[in-house]
Amino acid sequence: GAGVSQSPSNKVTEKGKDVELRCDPISGHTALYWYRQRLGQGLEFLIYFQGNSAPDKSGLPSDRFSAERTGESVSTLTIQRTQQEDSAVYLCASSLQASGYNEQFFGPGTRLTVL
Amino acid sequence: AQSVAQPEDQVNVAEGNPLTVKCTYSVSGNPYLFWYVQYPNRGLQFLLKYITGDNLVKGSYGFEAEFNKSQTSFHLKKPSALVSDSALYFCAVSNGASGGYNKLIFGAGTRLAVHP
């Protein structure tokens, strides 16, 4: 079946602009996760959803970052007033449920470049 | 707090030789341990996991990993490396407390280079 998809694959924006990143999880997966991967570094947890609610927003780096999920499906990560330090690959993942033992399935990522 | 250490930034192996990618972890409860692989310009792919039971777990592409509770390690191994195994490997851990979601913490990654 179809895996996790993300769009756009690449996004170049100017400092101060807002961007929206989209994630389509695997059908039937109730949990959805967002991570950030800076060049040459590991994954940094941003936020997760169980259904449409986000119990853990602790990883969001600032109030410029927000995310929502609708219909227990698509999720959008929004970054307002982008800064150069926001440049990274943003990865989305989904799993059957938000439990610690379910493996997460990752999308290909969105590479964000802020000029 | 949970943490994962991958002590080697890069591992170099000749094709056909055995490979080991090291991972140690720290978690307050029982660990759930995972290995993921990332090929260039692609997302992470799940390789294998340890939840409970047999300490030796087998995964995709001939990889296996051994859970060692006393050494708090979960090293990834393969008996015979292939050039196509060259990629970035991530170890991850979550706290296996009962119920609820426990954040998955990733190591910094180890780049595996298999030379012909």
pLDDT, tens only, B12-70 = 999 999 999 999 999 888 889 999 999 887 789 999 999 989 999 999 999 999 999 99
How many residue contacts between A and B have a Cβ separation below 8 Å?
A: 58
Considering only CB atoms, which chain A residues are within 8 Å of B42? 108
Q: Is residue A104 part of a domain?
A: no
Give chain A's domain count: 1
Give chain B's domain count: 1
Domain that residue A28 falls in: 5-10+21-96
CA A82 from centre of chain:
15
Residue A12 C-alpha, separation from nearest chain B C-alpha, in angstroms:
16
A108 contacts B41? CB cut-off 8 A: yes
**What pLDDT sits at residue B67?**
96
Q: Is residue A108 part of a domain?
A: no
Q: Is residue A112 part of a domain?
A: no
Q: Which residue has the tokens 């991967």?
A: A37
Domain that residue B76 falls in: 3-115
For the cut 70, the answer to whether the pLDDT of residue B98 exceeds it is no
CB A91 within 8 A of CB A107: yes
Q: Is residue A29 part of a domain?
A: yes
Q: Which of A45, A105, A109 is closest, CB to CB, to B103?
A: A45
Kindly report the CATH number assigned to the domain that includes residue B73: 2.60.40.10
> Would you place residue A106 in the very low, low, confident or very high pLDDT band (cuts 50, 70, 90)?
very high
Kindly report the CATH number assigned to the domain that includes residue A79: 2.60.40.10
**Phi, psi torsion values for A107, nearest 5 degrees:** -85, 175
Q: Is B53 on the interface with A (CB under 8 A)?
A: no
Considering only CB atoms, which chain A residues are within 8 Å of B44? 43, 91, 93, 106
Q: Is residue A50 part of a domain?
A: yes
